[in-house]
Amino acid sequence: MTRVLILGGTGDARKLAERLVERSGLHVTSSLAGRVREPQLPPGEVRVGGFGGPDGLADWIRNEQVSAVIDATHPFARTMTGNAVAAARSAGCPLLVLRRPAWQPEAGDDWRSVPSMTAAAALLPELGERIFLTTGRQGLAHFAELDLRFLVRTVDPPEPPLPPRTTVLLARGPFTVDDELALLREHRIDALVSKNSGGSMTSAKLVAARELGLPVVMVQRPPRPDAPSAGTVEQAVAWLDEVLRGHAG
């Protein structure tokens, strides 16, 4: 039985697992970080929790005799990706980084590109009073000192520190443009903050901001890891096929 490890929790990771578990002779394990209380589980074997850094992950790869690792974590999961690259090299195991393409501004967009959450927070006071913060639970401390009104949307309740004037909306995508337009109007949002995650699950907010002429503070992704990469599930499957053909040969 050939073993493949998918590091995920993203929609692309679930789609990849769905494609692979149907194959005979292939054992697929999806590893989730455990940061979401009720994650959407992929098919196949699932493990939850960390490995103990790159050394622990390398040991797991060796002990489980993994033939290939596909890192399909969030584009901003910099630490996990770094650990995966180091572990795969240590274990001598092929690794692919699956990252969906980043969003690109379109005609009519008013994007303010920033390199970090800190830079995003510094820019907000000049953009308005009511901010739609869609960067997830982690990193909200960067905005905790701002005396602005924040609408924070997350899957699970965020932990402090939070901005003093915060309304929390618990929701999981995908979202529609009509719903996003209604939300922005209801809360009289002046500006939106987003990480450049890419994909279609949460892109409707960008269309809604464009239609309403709202500025979007876009936090850019960390640098690409020094490892083979793919932008789609189909490309990842093709890479894996090539790796497995090499093993067979």
In the chain, domain spans = 2-100+223-248, 110-219
pLDDT of residue 137: 85
Look up tokens 């830079």; give the residue: 119
pLDDT of residue 66: 97
pLDDT of residue 201: 84
Q: Which CATH architecture has domain 2-100+223-248?
A: 3-Layer(aba) Sandwich (3.40)
Q: CA–CA separation, 222 vs 123, rounded Å?
A: 19
> Which among 88, 33, 94, 35 has a CA at the least distance from the CA of 57?
88
Q: CA–CA separation, 169 vs 153, rounded Å?
A: 5
> Which among 133, 157, 155 has a CA at the least distance from the CA of 218?
133
Q: Which residues of the chain have pLDDT under 70?
A: 34-37, 248-249
Q: What residues have CB less than 8 Å from 9, skipping those under 6 apart?
A: 32, 33, 35, 36, 39, 73, 74
CATH number corresponding to 110-219: 3.40.50
pLDDT of residue 138: 82
pLDDT of residue 36: 65
Let me know if the fold of 2-100+223-248 is the same as that of 110-219: yes
> Which among 194, 203, 146, 149 has a CA at the least distance from the CA of 174?
203
pLDDT of residue 249: 56
Backbone angles phi, psi at 27, to 5 degrees: -105, 120
Q: CA–CA separation, 132 vs 184, rounded Å?
A: 8
- As a dihedral over the C-alpha atoms of residue 180, residue 185, residue 189, residue 193, rounded to 10 degrees, the angle is 10
Q: How many whole angstroms from its chain centre is CA 222? A: 12
